[in-house]
Structure 1
């Protein structure tokens, strides 16, 4: 199984000539992906950002998470949406941004939540998650049920599905799906 080694240097100052302590965590790609997806939902990241992943830290010890295929991200988000743990909302981008409107904007519930049909369609079509279009600026959020459900339950709910999904974009190397 592919692994990712994470090295982190202690943040506290140390005397000259002495090395800082290091902690090494070994996390498999699937666990890293699901953990990052949960964090991106918690942070309410716009859909256009999610497939790009994230970066922890700076310099030589920085850890890259992702990128992942948008279709893989969409499959996991859809499963969490169907469980009632996430919803999707849209707020107008800042003034001056040239973002194309979406047809669903006239059907927002309570002014910002996507209607169920529109949310399902958007999760089925991750190719629409682009920066230049309102679709890409839709953000997932945890519902009350999602806040109550333990994170372990979130992972268990999508584990079998995620094992069969590619974790690397086409041409990025590394064998997928996970077995």
Structure 2
């Protein structure tokens, strides 16, 4: 599998697993023999793909419950959540436009993508096709990548 296809597949998996935004650029490791590492990727590249899928109405963003003792820095949008935990459309777009805000100690970083009803019924091939041309010129390596 080429690096771009792997990246897009991992972005879809992050959405399926509702991975917090701060963790998505870090990538993941499949614990097989030998282990397979995916990422890390530039946060801006991750955000670009999530924006495409958000504009297609295949994903939304929500703030899961987290323990109060984490003492996360609250975000302005926290007072505008829809149905108790979902970011309003303009707030979600703003957060996806600013991946530098996806910090572990901030509420922004703990927001997670999820598949919408439209996303649940859209085949992966369409997700891939929608993001592929836009993602081709984007960097897939961070300054911390060893490859």
TM-score, length of structure 1 as denominator length = 0.79
Aligned to 1:70: 43
Q: Structure 2 unaligned runs (5+)?
A: none
Q: Structure 1 unaligned runs (5+)?
A: 1-26, 175-179
| Distance (whole Å) between structure 2 residues aligned to residue 153 and residue 30 of structure 1 | 15
Query: How far 1:171 sits from its partner (Å)?
Result: 5.6
Aligned to 1:47: 21
TM-score, length of structure 2 as denominator length = 0.96
1:43-86 deviation line (CA, Å, top 9, x unaligned): 0000000000000015x600100000000000000000000000
Query: How far 1:96 sits from its partner (Å)?
Result: 1.3
Return the match for 1:33 from 7, 16, 20: 7
Quote the RMSD (CA, aligned, Å).
1.2
Query: How far 1:173 sits from its partner (Å)?
Result: 6.2
Task: State the structure with bigger RCO (CA 8 A, min sep 6), 1 or 2.
Answer: 2
1:74-121 deviation line (CA, Å, top 9, x unaligned): 000000000000000012312311211001000001111101110000
Number of residues paired by the alignment?
Answer: 147
| Distance (whole Å) between structure 2 residues aligned to residue 127 and residue 76 of structure 1 | 15
Bigger proportion of residues as strand: 1
8 Å CA contact 1:93, 1:99 repeated in 2: no
Greater gyration radius = 1
Aligned to 1:21: none
Return the match for 1:104 from 77, 86, 97: 77
Where does structure 1 differ by over 2 angstroms across 4 or more consecutive aligned residues?
170-174
| Distance (whole Å) between structure 2 residues aligned to residue 109 and residue 47 of structure 1 | 19
Matched, 1:85 2:58: yes
Aligned to 2:109: 136
Structure 2 counterpart SS, 1:96? helix
| Distance (whole Å) between structure 1 residues aligned to residue 125 and residue 143 of structure 2 | 29
